[in-house]
Amino acid sequence: MQTVVFRQSGTLRDGSLRIPVRANEVYAACDGFCRSNAALMAPVQVHAAQLPAVWDAEALSSLAAQPGQELRVLIVNGFGTGYGDLILGSTALERLHQEIRKRGKTPEIDFLIREGRASTYREVFKRNPYVRRIHSGVLPLHELRHYDWVFSNEHILFDADFPSSHMGDFFMRRLGLSIEDPPIPKLYPDPKRLKSTLKEVRRIRDSHRGERFAVLNFFASTLRAIPEFVWKDWIEAFAVDYRVVLIGAQGNERRVQQFISGLDSGLRNRVHDLSAVTARSFDALIGILDDLADLVITPDTSVMHVAGALRKSCVGVFFSIDPALRIRDYPSVQAFCPEAFRNSRFWGKSHLSSAENKVLALDPEYVALWRAIDPESVKRRFRLI
């Protein structure tokens, strides 16, 4: 079997796949490792045939013309690290699956993901019909010969197109696929896990029949998060018309509990803490949003992508990233992104970038930007959905 290796969308180096190799094992690594240890990126000679300079539909058709019914693909390093990246990346998987099937082949798509990230991939893709297997960490070098096409997706953070591309389009382009009429992001939760979550959700609904529920997530990485000094104002605004449900990722449960304990009893009685439930699993988050949320408020993070994929009314709060790069495929999501955010020195950044800006809660510009936001203006976005 000839194994075709494609690395990014540029020229190939003498038919070699440059990925980390050690002791006859291929392993997935983070972008930082790949970039800082270029000397360790050994060229893996898979075959000596002439390879296409750019992967495209013609190259895929040529590969599909080889003998055998299955066309086996291995994607090394996958589609980023976050749940949102994987939800959008799943559109590229679906498109790749479609293109292989058009050519009369049965697709078998596997991932090789670095240790520490494979569990996230398994949570999102464990029931995805377009993924066969997820390898964790390492793979014996000789195993590459079982694949028809090995795609090394390293260095995505350093790709010039990365900061200005819609993530679904970005991954499809890297796979050499058309971005016209892209598939809609979909979720494939585990029914057994959903069942236990739904029991808790329905207990809350049954206790408050006739009321509507606003699910608020304040958490995200660094600059994308909604700061705690405005939480109370936002909760008060939504608690007038809704019962408020607070959620969060693993590690935030105690912070949510402490915050709620500091609220006055009247407001506290309008708030439900489900942060410990959403911290359990990705499926638990899906269950809560699908069965309980009448509307969702969240920064640009996995919660927004899940709400969008579920077609839930959602306002995504964008402090430093262009909403057009995230919400195009989600008709139920409205962006909240005031002009003041776009004009701030934080715009275009996704993390802290200077020593003096380590404590954002003490940064005058940052505090002023958030203090200027009237939560009622966030509520008004829902009228546009």
Structural domain contains residue 205? yes
Residue pair 246/275 in contact by the 8 Å Cβ criterion: yes
Q: What pLDDT does 350 receive? A: 66
The pLDDT of 289-303, averaged and rounded, is 96
11 or 188: whose pLDDT is higher? 188
Q: Where does the pLDDT of residue 6 fall: very low under 50, low under 70, confident under 90, or very high at 90 and above?
A: very low
- Cα separation, 114 vs 139, whole angstroms: 11
Q: What pLDDT does 272 receive? A: 97
Q: What CATH number has the domain bearing residue 331?
A: 3.40.50.2000
Q: Are residues 195 and 314 in the same domain?
A: yes
Which of 340, 336, 341 has the alpha carbon at shortest distance from 383?
Answer: 336
Structural domain contains residue 273? yes
pLDDT digits (tens, 9 = 90+) for 27-85: 454 444 344 444 444 444 433 233 343 456 676 777 777 778 999 888 888 888 889 99
Q: Where does the pLDDT of residue 351 fall: very low under 50, low under 70, confident under 90, or very high at 90 and above?
A: low
Which of 103, 105, 97 has the alpha carbon at shortest distance from 132?
Answer: 97
The domain boundary, picked from 174, 209, 226, lies at 174
Residue pair 298/382 in contact by the 8 Å Cβ criterion: no
Q: Are residues 96 and 224 in the same domain?
A: no
Q: Is 295's pLDDT higher than 80?
A: yes
pLDDT digits (tens, 9 = 90+) for 165-222: 888 888 888 888 888 998 999 999 999 888 888 888 999 999 999 999 999 999 998 7
Domain count, the chain: 2
The tokens describing 38, both together, are 């270029």
| Domain of 69, in residue numbers | 4-174
% of the chain residues with pLDDT over 90: 51
Q: Where does the pLDDT of residue 1 fall: very low under 50, low under 70, confident under 90, or very high at 90 and above?
A: very low
Structural domain contains residue 183? no
- Cα separation, 340 vs 321, whole angstroms: 13
Q: What pLDDT does 4 receive? A: 42
Alpha helices in 65-166 (DSSP H): 83-102, 118-125
Q: Is 333's pLDDT higher than 70?
A: yes
The tokens describing 248, both together, are 């969060």
- Cα separation, 181 vs 140, whole angstroms: 38
- Cα separation, 112 vs 143, whole angstroms: 11
* Whole-number average pLDDT of the chain: 82
Cα distances (Å, whole numbers) of residue 198 to 16, 195, 202, 288, 359: 49, 5, 6, 7, 38
Q: Where does the pLDDT of residue 154 fall: very low under 50, low under 70, confident under 90, or very high at 90 and above?
A: low
Cα distances (Å, whole numbers) of residue 46 to 13, 39, 132: 12, 19, 22
Q: Are residues 154 and 195 in the same domain?
A: no
Alpha helices in the chain (DSSP H): 31-36, 57-64, 83-102, 118-125, 167-174, 191-207, 231-239, 253-261, 265-268, 275-278, 282-291, 302-309, 339-342, 364-371, 375-380
Q: Are residues 217 and 168 in the same domain?
A: no
Structural domain contains residue 329? yes
Structural domain contains residue 181? no
The domain boundary, picked from 112, 147, 174, lies at 174
Q: What pLDDT does 81 receive? A: 81
Q: Is 235's pLDDT higher than 90?
A: yes
Residue pair 293/264 in contact by the 8 Å Cβ criterion: no
Q: Are residues 167 and 237 in the same domain?
A: no
Q: Are residues 144 and 116 in the same domain?
A: yes
Neighbours of 356 (CB within 10 A): 8
Residue pair 234/296 in contact by the 8 Å Cβ criterion: no
Q: Is 250's pLDDT higher than 70?
A: yes
Write phi, then psi, for 142 (nearest 5 degrees): -70, -20
